[in-house]
Amino acid sequence: MVTTDVDDELDDCEELLLDDTAQSTGRAAARESRRQSLKLFALGKALIRFRRSALPLRDVVSTIVRQEIPFIDKTVRLHFQDVADHILRINDFVESQRDVVTGLRDAELALTSNRLSLVQQKIAAWGSLFLIATLITGVLGMNFRDQPDLSWGSGFLVTASLILIICTPLYIFFRRREWV
């Protein structure tokens, strides 16, 4: 039955979405997220098509049930009443599943946004480490006439040590916060 297939597909999507591995970053997570998005959009389209095909039936069957049509027997009208009930249940099902699809899409977008935030956090942490090194080498790399490290034999080692002394605690801080 169509409703059970849609329900099973949505359950699968929900399990994949709420799985712990959905929190990971990287290419595999991006591919899985894209596949998940396409699946949710396909389910949403299928539900819309299903609703469009069932909605006109509701009006026709309701008209048959409500009006006294002389060539339709009362027993047949009872069957049409049963069909009308099924159509109403199908419409309710489609509406509830559309709400589920919308909720899953929102959750998937939130997870994608969270993954993007984590990637930006790592990029910012690495950028700040390189900023310090660039700042030190930029200042000490200026060609002043009386610059002390130009006349030293170990000027490069002092500069590299200064970069390491400043960047190492920052790297440790970022590492503890799992930003790098």
User: CA–CA separation, 150 vs 158, rounded Å?
Assistant: 11
Helix or strand holding residue 174 (H, E): helix 155-176
User: CA–CA separation, 175 vs 116, rounded Å?
Assistant: 19
Instruction: DSSP letter for 178, please.
Output: T
* pLDDT at residue 136 in the model: 85
Domains of the chain: 2-176 (1.20.58.340)
User: CA–CA separation, 122 vs 177, rounded Å?
Assistant: 10
* pLDDT at residue 21 in the model: 52
pLDDT class for 22, splitting at 50, 70, 90? low
pTM of the full structure: 0.65
User: CA–CA separation, 154 vs 21, rounded Å?
Assistant: 49
Q: Are 122 and 180 in contact (CB under 8 A)?
A: yes
* pLDDT at residue 124 in the model: 93
Helices 155-176 and 74-140: crossing angle, nearest 10°?
Answer: 160
Q: Is the pLDDT of residue 27 over 80?
A: no
Q: How far apart are the first and last CA of the chain?
A: 49
Residue from 29, 49, 2 nearest 115 by CA: 29
Q: What is the pLDDT of residues 118-168, one digit of tens each?
A: 889 999 999 999 999 999 888 777 666 666 666 667 777 888 898 999 999
